[in-house]
Amino acid sequence: MRCKRTNQLSRNEGIDLTMDQNRLDAIIAPTGGPAWTTDWVNGDHFTGGYSTPSAVAGYPHITVPAGLVFGLPVGLSFIGRAWSEGALLKLAYAF
């Protein structure tokens, strides 16, 4: 069962508020930093990215390939409001 406060912060005061205030159809962000090469001595080097806010809110999120950085793949995320899957698919396809 979802916590009422979590819903409030992630939806009403988070994604929905941001989209309302900025009149957005979607939020676009890097899915993650560039992929990293394996460092056998020091381990992986996660460089951040987007995934948590839409997952916490339970909102749709689609990722598409966005190119290469230093020869390694990066993705672009399209995040929408509840029940906006159709609009996100159109935006992702257009990209």
Can you tell me the mean pLDDT for 71-85? 93
Tally of CA atoms within 13 A in the half-sphere of 1 that contains its CB = 2
The phi, psi pair for 50, rounded to 5°, reads -105, 135
Give the residue numbers spanning the domain of 20.
4-94
Pick 74 or 87 by higher pLDDT. 87
Judge whether 51 and 31 are in contact, CB under 8 Å.
yes
- Which class for 80: exposed (0-12), middle (13-18), buried (19 or more C-beta within 10 A)? buried
pLDDT in tens, 1-29: 568 888 888 899 999 999 999 999 999 99
Radius of gyration of the chain (CA): 15
Give pLDDT, residue 46: 67
Give pLDDT, residue 41: 86
Number of domain units in the chain: 1
Give me the chain's average pLDDT, please: 88
Give pLDDT, residue 47: 65
CA distance 24 to 83: 15
